[in-house]
Each structure stands twice: as structure tokens, then as C-alpha cells.
Chain A
């Protein structure tokens, strides 16, 4: 029982990161029906930016994170602007376009930061908390708190602001939204920007948990996507639950299957998609694209 609980605790902080990645995917998907295949690479860019500012310019961790979020947000805007002519026309081409951006970002990362990775020290130095015999790292709690805060802010933005309501309208029917005077392109751009910002947040937070390397985003991206689908693509509570579920699944497969954990995770994920393509909180979004 102790081991079982400890495994769950070990998966939760990574799960929160997956949830943030999943939120980015979901936000873009629900607004424009597109899966951004460059999302994982944006996570890597965010992780490198945050760690660079944190390590070399000695900015406080929080400030380094903000800088990373702003820069990646700008990258998100560029991606959306370039692919805008294809929006609501050819989803397969857009998907390939985002893969193209992923290839470019991957090359840029290697050019700027090199092919080898770096370890990022944890910004929180206190000793792990001991709770009923479970060891909980304090940084894990920080990750959970920030992820929760980001989710609350996102939900408030979508439900309480005019801009957020406009984005919801575009998500439901982009033609009707145009008819009532909403600038669909701008709405998509904001979705992309926030999505990229969330990716940077996830990347920045995951730096001290994992090793920051060019391959980081690929793994995080595909697991974040799996989380988004598991929860029901486009659904915000689904993304959170899916993220935590994948994190815990990860933690268990790593314990039981060692090197094959990735294989097992992907096979489980494939089976879930085949059995229930709409996920746990799924809307009828499967045929949208």
C-alpha cells in the first residue's frame, strides 16, 4: 500500500505538467479544430528559455518563467499567422504545416543550445515533507499549485472576459462568429498564443524535474496529447484529469516495465483511443477535423 501510494505521488507532479501541455493542445483544438504538432517543440523551447534565464542571467525562477512564456507566446503568434490561409480549409495540410514548424524549432533549439542537455537545480531548497510515511518533494507541491492557478486563470478568462467568450463562440461555429463581428483570425491567434504560453509554463516547470534536452518536448508533447484525448479532446477538466491519469500511469509503467514503459504507455493509449475515441469527457469532436 505504501509503495502504491508513493508511486501515485511520484506521478502526480509530472501529471500536472502533462495536464498543462494537454490544456495547450485542447485550447487550440477547441478553438480551431487543429492539433498543433509543434506543441512539444514549443515546450522544449520554453524549458530551454526558462532554464537559460534562470541559470545564466541569475533571474529569479518566476521571472525567468515569465520571460519564457512571453517569447514562446510570440512563437505561437508566428505559427498561427503563417498557417492562417489554411484555417478551416484543409486540416491535414495544417497538421503537416505544424509538423514543419516542429522540424524548424527542433533545428533552432540544437543550433542555439546544442544537442546535449542540461540539468536544472530545483529552485525550492527545502527538504521533502513526510506525510504519513509518504515522501513529498516541496517542488512537486509548487508545480501542482502553479498548474492549478494557471487552470483557474484560463477558465476565468474563457468564461468571464469578452475576448474569452468570443473564443468560445469561434469554437462552436466560426461562420456564425464571423457574422456577429468576431475576428476569427485574431481569436485563433490568441488561442495559439495562450497555448504556446502554457507549453512554456509546462517546459519551465518540468526543467528541475527532468533533464532538459532537445528530446524533452517530443516525449512531453505526445504524452500531453494522450492526456488531452484521454480526458476528451477540447474539454478543460478532461485535460486536467487526463494529465494526472497519464502521469500516474507513467509512474506505474516505469516501475513495472522499466525500459519498456514508453511502449506500454503508447499501446494502452492506442487501445483507449480505439475503444472510446471521445475520451472521458468527450464531446462529439472526433469528426470535427
Chain B
């Protein structure tokens, strides 16, 4: 931490005195590089942090520059007013371009944003107000009392300050709640939604952030060059920008800046051979995605891992601690918490659920068992909002929640684990828990602008709670590790800890004992009982009959998408339909259920 501060301070001093050693051409180059660096930070936020493929960043840049140009030359407004309005305009465009992200992702989003960027260049090339192919010249330079900003040396300081603030704000977002949630969404949008992250809102926020950075860069560009033309915002520049972010390392904002600076310098050195430069950075992009997907920013860590590997493993392996039971709390047992009423779910020809009804009382541990393919996980997916039932209703805490988005159900007090573990792979164990602990709305992200200290204070409080959760589940020693590096049993425990950290009234566990050894299953039973005793209700899908029989008070048996039996463990175990579903042939079972 201290070395980072020192390096930062040294860089700041160098940046401050840089213009004294540069001639007038070099300072111009540096000014352009800074603008690219701001653009790259914006692209890094939306692509690297939030995982939204955005090939429109150059259009945001263009909107900012063109709006400034049009407002200053046609409307006769001052530079600063125009700049502010231009950024507002860019944010509006950012919302428009981000809207497709609500429906499509990945490749589709890439092509849509690329198409919209092309539409933008098409518009400015043709529109009279944008000056057509000639563009707009004669943009006034910004005025500041006592400072002559038409001098590129002094303009450098304006850019430097904007850049420093923009980068600091970006880092602030990435390292606190909002950025963590975006990274969680990037790694696994489904799991993030099931933990209460408002995925649509987050995606729009990411696009808005990117557009603010694009707009800022555009305004600075208009003030620096004082001339805008369509070719500055074409697709070739978009790909150059993309190359900067990929080569630098998209998941690290500092990496994006390093990528922008180094690529811009290389391009400057090869200014007489632009095609060679293009060939070079294209090849480097290909090499980076194949051999170093984390880019330049990821190299130090890879080098360290390699050295550690060469030296042999050092230190002792982290140990799983014992689970510390929760304080028992009096729960309002007996009230109906969840009611599934006549739910059917059809997948084309396949009827996965057929008129399933069940009610779960508060404070219960309910087991759901059944042969493979009997619809257990489908039922969970319907309850937690991942699937919309074809028919029927899901009533949770007295409210009809049928077909609500998973994040709404999560906010209403439901949490779940997944059959095939869905931990956020690029977040640490602690961050996985932090995402669940953070119950704030994405809308409250306005605090980042107006009350940054409040954000920091809340983040510190969250970290304290995370430390408690880590301690309770015996995971303290794994806090800073990546979940993928942990043994399977520990990953299962992390996922349960994460689900409970979201403070649910109802916890859905999908095969929590799968892949666990005998001792781990015993610990799991203890954990689940303690979770229930702390005032929560648990529904558990499980194949391990010993666990289900000893843990659950009520068991629902599914077969072929229907409920064939329900009751206490001993009642269910002796039920003829259940025995036939597990052992007998289907002909007899059909008869027995009717």
C-alpha cells in the first residue's frame, strides 16, 4: 500500500513537470494520449469491469466532441456550458446504446453497439448541422481567467487534472460496492441476480459511466484540436481503443491507462508507417488474448506465480476452521412463508413440472427428493424467478411473486445455492461474501458523486460484517483466495455462506451435499440446522437420503414433474408410491398415483 502511494506520488510529480522537457509537437502528442487514456478508462469500466461488450465508445467520444462543436459554433454558447451540455447529451446517447444490453449480451451486444457506432459516423457524415464530411472548424478554446488555454502547455494541465480525477473516480468505483457488484455480474450474471444485484440497472449504469468518460474525452478533444471531422471517430479508432484496453489488461483500470499510453506512443513512433503499426497492434491483440488474457496488468502476478512455482510451494496451506453456530433466535414458526400453487412448467414438448403445489411454513426445514429428472431443480428455478411458470402461482411472504425477476425475489428475502456451484470466479472469497452482504440499491449510486465519504464508510462496515461471516464459517484463511483454487467441499461452504450473508428469510439449497465426504456432510447438517435455528426457513434438494431423513421435518417427493407424496420422513419412506418411483416400474407407479 505504501509503495503504491509512493509510486503514485512520484508519477504525479513527473506528470506535473513533464511539459518543461517537451517541445511543442511532443506536448501535442501527450495531450492526445491523455484523451485516449480517459477513453480507455471508460471502456475498461464497461467492458473489463461490467463485462458489457461495448464497441460504441468511439461514438460516445464523437458525441461529446460534436456536441461541443455544434453548441459553441452554431448556438454561440461558451465552451464550459457547451461542455457540460455535451456530456449530458453523451449520457443520453449512452442510455440509448446501452438499452440493447438489457436483452442481448456478448456477441450480439458487440455487433449491435458496432452497428450503432457506424450509424453515428453515417449521421455526422451526412448531417448539415455536423458539417458533413468537412466537419466543424473554428471551435473556440476554453477560457479561464488568468490562464491561456489556447497554449497546449497550459491545456496539458487542464487535461491532467481531468484525467487524474477521472481515473481516481474510476478506481473508487471499482474498489467499492458498485464496482464489486459489476464484477460479480460480469463473472456470473445469473448468480449476481439471485443475490439481489439489479442486473438491468447495473448494465445501464455501466454504459452511463462509459459515456461520461467518452463525453469528457470528446469535450477535451474539441477544446484541444478545435476542429472535428467524422474520420476521428471511425471504426478503426474504435478498434485501436479496444486494442489499448485489451493489451493493457481490461480488468484493471491502471492497465487500461498503461495500454493507452504505450500503444499511442508506439503509434506515434510509427507515424509514417500507419499500416505497419496497425499490423503490429492487431497481432499483439491476438497474442494477448491467447497467451496473456489479463494483458500487461496481469503480468506481474503471473510472473510472481511462476517464480513461486519455481521455488516450490512455500508456507502452509490454508486450513478450514470450525463452523461457529448462530445465536438461536425465536422465529415466528407456523406461518405460511412460501406457497407454490398449481405450478406447471413446459419446455416445448417436455412437461418438467405438472401442477405442483406445496406450502412451506416459517422455521421449517423442507426436503425435496425425487429421482433424477423429476423436476426438483426446475421447481427451484421457478420459485427463485429464473423460470417463469407456464401455469400457476408462487406466493412468497403473502405476496404473489410469480414471474418476478430473480433480483426482486432476492430483495424480498430469498437466497439460493446452485447445483453446479456458481461462485464469482474472478472475485476473492471475501468479495463473494461482500456482494451478498451489500443490500443497497443500485439507484443509491448517486452517493458516489455527492457523498463519497459515506460510500467509504459503508464499505468499511460491510468489510467488518464479511470478517464476521468468514470467521463464523471458518473461512478466514481463504479470504483473499480465488474460489476456483479451493477444494470442492470448501467451495460448497463458501456458496452457503454467501447465500446466508444475503440475510434471507428463505434459503434454497440445491444438492448441497453433492461431492462432499462423510465428515463434510455431518458438518453441513450442523450448519443447516444452525441456520434454521437463527430464524430462517430452509428448503433443501438432496439425493443423500441419510441427510434428508435426519435433517428435514417435512419431505416432498417429486416424480415425473408431480408431487407423489408429502409428509414426515417416516411417512414418506413407507409410502408405496415413493417406493415404486425409486424402485418399481413406471406402469405400476402410474396406477398408484391415480
Contact = CB atoms under 8 A, between A and B. Distances in A.
A273 B285 contact: no
Interface in A87-129: 90-97, 99-108, 110-111
B458 to A, nearest CB: 31
Contact of B116 (A35, A85, A218, A266): A266
Given A35-B111, A218-B235, A97 B126 contact: no
A88 to B, nearest CB: 14
Contacts of B106: 91-92, 95, 289
Interface stretch (B75-83, B192-200, B273-281): B273-281
B51 interface: yes
Contacts of B107: 34-35, 91, 95, 289
Contacts of B104: 273-274, 277, 286
A110 B290 contact: no
A225 to B, nearest CB: 5
B99 A274 contact: yes
A263 B275 CA distance: 28
Give the secondary structure class of B's interface: helix
Given A100-B243, A102-B239, A262 B119 contact: yes
Nearest to A114: B275
B110 interface: yes
B242 interface: yes
Given A96-B242, A96-B285, A274-B99, A110 B275 contact: yes
Interface residues of A, number: 46
Interface string B108-121: 10111011101100
Contacts of B346: none
Given A222-B114, A222-B115, A270-B112, A103 B123 contact: no
A97 B286 contact: yes
A115 to B, nearest CB: 9
A270 B100 contact: yes
B293 interface: yes
Contacts, number: 128
Contacts of B236: 106
Contacts of A260: 122-123, 126
A142 interface: no
Contacts of A172: none
Given A101-B282, A270-B100, A93 B118 contact: no
B282 A103 contact: yes
Nearest to A83: B290
Contact of A100 (B123, B235, B283, B293): B283
B285 to A, nearest CB: 3
Contacts of A91: 106-107
A277 B107 CA distance: 12
A269 interface: yes
Contacts of B4: none
A102 B236 CA distance: 10
Contacts of A82: 286, 290
Given A93-B289, A104-B278, A266-B122, 13 more contacts: A86-B290, A99-B239, A100-B283, A100-B289, A103-B285, A107-B279, A229-B108, A259-B125, A263-B119, A263-B126, A266-B118, A267-B119, A273-B100
Interface of A: 34-35, 37, 82-83, 85-86, 90-97, 99-108, 110-111, 218, 222, 225-226, 229, 259-260, 262-263, 266-267, 269-270, 273-274, 277, 286-287, 289
